[in-house]
Amino acid sequence: MTTTFLYKSDPVRGRQWAEVFRQHAPEIDFRIWPDVGDPQRVRFLAAWEPPADLATQFPQLEVLFSSGAGVDQFDFAALPPALPVVRMVEPGIVRGMVEYVTQAVLSLHRDIPAYRRQQQTGEWRPLPVRPAAERRVGVLGLGSLGQAVLAQLLDFGFDCAGWSRSQHVVEGVQCFAGQEALPAFLARTDILICLLPLTDATRRMLNATLFAHLPQGAMLVHVGRGPQLVSDDLLAALDSGQLSEAMLDVTDPEPLPAGHALWKHPRIHITPHIASMTQPLSAAAVVIDNLRRFNAGEPMIGLVDRTRGY
């Protein structure tokens, strides 16, 4: 019986996936939601938001692929318990995140937000230029994105550190692990980048207590998930000078409603969740490779550990 791979996400990008499947996995019947064909044939699904009652609709479903890097949009309790879930680990999304975070860090490092404010009042006032080696950058999350970002920042000569749940060894990066090491990591961080997945452990983690461990005047680049940040604590930290700038690519809620206090703060710089996006051509190629792995009984890249939530 022919296998169906069902794609339920942006249909324009879906057509690019379809072309890659047509060229490299022609034996698979690739379909774009809502054209599901025979539901009994759907063995694989790629989705940002899967349909409800997955088990009833697609009783032969064997793998759920997230069309993005995050999986916090899935209600794990509503998914069949033994269904493997795979997050997106693909070179295009990694490159996009490296570009975004690099521009954010360079912009903060070289005082671009301050010059924008000066321009508004016609003020010509050079600020001191610090070498990158004297700027301590710290990345929360040493996963596929965090490590790629650090590799680029190391190239610029920044003093780099990272924090994760388990201990990592990354050349040139001071690695910290676990809650007990968090204060020491924060104490040496001038520019903090959040690249953590949203889980029960990371929700509301960017709060007043965490900000208090940073050096006074530290800066934040938040590219994880909106609910990790306590907005009122950020506003208070900026008003008190504990933090000096914040670049937010993610907010809670999204879209951020007009008139929200985060829009108005002169030291907050917002982009609408565009730091990075799955690139259809490279993503489809990675998924086809994962299907080969799955069929060969090999571990798939990006397999989610449901007990950890990422």
Residue ranges binding ligand NDP (CB under 6 A): 69-70, 93, 97, 141-146, 164-166, 195-199, 201-202, 223-225, 249-250, 273, 275-276, 310
Helix (H) or strand (E) holding 261: helix 261-264
225 among known catalytic residues:
yes
Q: Whose Cβ is closer to ligand NDP: residue 101's or residue 132's?
A: 101
Q: State whether residue 258 is helix, strand or coil.
A: coil
**Tokens 């959040």, residue located:** 194
Smallest distance, Å, CB 52 to ligand OXD?
A: 21
Among 39, 51, 70, 227, interactor with ligand OXD by CB under 6 A: 70
Q: Does 228 bind ligand OXD (CB under 6 A)?
A: no
Omega cis (within 30) before 183: no
Q: Check if 109 is active-site.
A: no
* Residue 166 contact among ligand NDP, ligand OXD, none, beta carbon within 5 to 8 Å by kind: ligand NDP
- Which entry of 41, 188, 260, 273 is annotated as an active-site residue? 273
Residues 6+ away with beta carbon under 8 Å from 7: 14, 17, 18, 30, 31, 32, 33, 45, 46, 47, 67
- Fill in the DSSP letter of residue 297: T
The binder of 278, among ligand NDP, ligand OXD, none, by C-beta within 5 to 8 A per type, is ligand OXD
Q: Which partner in ligand OXD, ligand NDP, none is near 201 (CB below 5 to 8 A by kind)?
A: ligand NDP
- The secondary structure of 4-52 as a DSSP string is EEEEES-HHHHHHHHHHHHHH-TTSEEEETT----GGGEEEEEESSPPS
What is the DSSP annotation of 86-113?
E----HHHHHHHHHHHHHHHHHHHTTHH
Instruction: Please compute, for residue 305, the number of CA atoms within 13 A of its CA located in the half-sphere on the CB side.
Output: 4
What 3-state DSSP class applies to 134?
helix
User: Among 254, 244, 245, which Cα is nearest to 224's?
Assistant: 254
Q: State the binding string over 91-130 for ligand OXD (x if CB under 6 A, else -).
A: --x-------------------------------------
Binders of ligand OXD among residues 240 to 299 (CB under 6 A) are: 277-278
Q: How far is the CB of 177 from ligand OXD (least distance, A)?
A: 23
**What is the nearest approach in angstroms of ligand OXD to the Cβ of residue 92?**
11
Active-site residue list: 225, 273
Residues at the contact surface with ligand OXD, assessed by CB under 6 A = 68-70, 88, 93, 277-278
